[in-house]
Amino acid sequence: MSDEGERADEAAGRGRLAFLGPIPRIASWLGGSLALISAVFYAAGYLALRAQLELLGLAGLVSPSNQRFVQEGGRFFLELGLELNTLLSLLILGGLAALVIYGIARPILAWRRRKRPERVGWLRRWAARHQVRLRVVGFVALVIALFALARDPDEFLAPLQISGLLFEPSAPPPGEGTLSDAESLRRLLLSGDEEGLRWRFREYLAFELLALALFLGSWWLAARWRLRLLLTAPFWLVLVIYTLALPMLYGVLRYREAAPVVSVNAEALGRPEGSELFLLERTEEELLLWDPASRRAIWLPFAGVRSAEVLRIDYLVRPGAGAGAGGGA
């Protein structure tokens, strides 16, 4: 009986170990997935935040933390999800309309097939015999669509040509000629036209989805070709460029950098007590402040600060402000 009891205990122990066996693999998979998600968030947040700092003219002054990059990357994907939800709703409505049309046309098509079955069979046999030719024609059509619908690089990346908005906040004066894309976007940014900027971002997102659809179509058509990767190179190159540019375009068109507005009492500032400044960065030895009145960045050592008070959080560029500065003196 004792031997049987020991064997039963061993079997029960092996059963418990077998039950716990998948747990390390699941934990390893979860850890790898979280690391991958964090890396994607970091990359997107880095591109978006760097584009915003370049827009403001602070790229060489402010050094955000890695945690900030991950946070802004998560915000980018949240905004992207909301925009895709809007586009998905439109696609669903279009799909429902197509189903209604198909439901109306289906009896007519079925009647025509019954009347002329030989023609339907002939079309199927013809398509099977000329499958390679049809794939070539379809692929050529996708190439033509790619070059016809792909935007000029300078036009597509026009938002990234704007910089120094804090230091040169005035919009270009109206002239006789037409404004460039960068100048018109600069006016949109300074006028606070959030709806116009949102639609510009949606336009770029639509081009991204179009590039994805063209790539998937070309990849499917070239499935049986030996030079598949080479032939589809224009499609995936355009897709990669648009994908990398999308977080940066978001950083210019949709993201708004905010910072604490502080009142600093320090003799080195040379400003009246109670003046409002933006706190851009705080290190162990000094404060990096932005003076919206004089449009200058100030490094202030802690040793010269008598007192400081945080008043509120505000945007560095207040939408609709003619001067382009967020806080007043």
Asked if 298 and 288 touch (Cβ cutoff 8 Å), the reply is: yes
Q: Where is pLDDT greater, at 224 or 15?
A: 224
Mean pLDDT, residues 130-140: 78
Helix (H) or strand (E) holding 207: helix 194-221
What confidence score (pLDDT) does residue 76 get?
93
Mean pLDDT, residues 136-159: 83
What confidence score (pLDDT) does residue 2 get?
55
**What is the pLDDT confidence band of residue 309, given thresholds at 50, 70 and 90?**
confident
**What is the pLDDT confidence band of residue 22, given thresholds at 50, 70 and 90?**
low
CA atoms of 307 and 267, how far apart (whole Å)? 11
What confidence score (pLDDT) does residue 322 get?
43
What confidence score (pLDDT) does residue 323 get?
40
What confidence score (pLDDT) does residue 243 get?
92
Mean pLDDT, residues 216-234: 88
For the record, the structure tokens of 304 come out as 């010269």
Mean pLDDT, residues 140-157: 83
pLDDT single digits (tens) 109-119: 565 555 565 55
Of 18-27, 64-73, 127-136, 277-286, highest mean pLDDT: 64-73
pLDDT single digits (tens) 274-307: 678 898 888 888 888 888 888 888 888 877 777 7
CA atoms of 217 and 212, how far apart (whole Å)? 9
pLDDT higher than threshold 80 for residue 27 = no
Mean pLDDT, residues 189-193: 78
CA atoms of 51 and 309, how far apart (whole Å)? 30
What confidence score (pLDDT) does residue 255 get?
86
Q: Which range has the worst mean pLDDT, 37-51, 98-112, 256-270, 274-288?
A: 98-112
pLDDT higher than threshold 50 for residue 329 = no
Mean pLDDT, residues 68-83: 91
CA distances from 165 to 2, 45, 54, 316 (A): 84, 20, 9, 10
Of 28-37, 145-154, 307-316, highest mean pLDDT: 307-316
Q: Where is pLDDT greater, at 180 or 301?
A: 301
pLDDT higher than threshold 50 for residue 176 = no
Q: Where is pLDDT greater, at 2 or 133?
A: 133
pLDDT single digits (tens) 237-251: 999 999 999 999 999
What confidence score (pLDDT) does residue 10 get?
57
Burial of 65 by CB count in 10 Å (0-12 exposed, 13-18 middle, 19+ buried)?
A: exposed
Nearest C-alpha neighbor of 83 from the set 245, 201, 229: 201
Q: What is the CATH number of domain 258-315?
A: 2.30.30
Q: For residue 80, what are the contacts with CB-CB under 8 A and spacing of at least 6?
A: 205, 246, 250
Q: Where is pLDDT greater, at 60 or 169?
A: 60
pTM value is 0.75
What confidence score (pLDDT) does residue 245 get?
92
What confidence score (pLDDT) does residue 301 get?
85
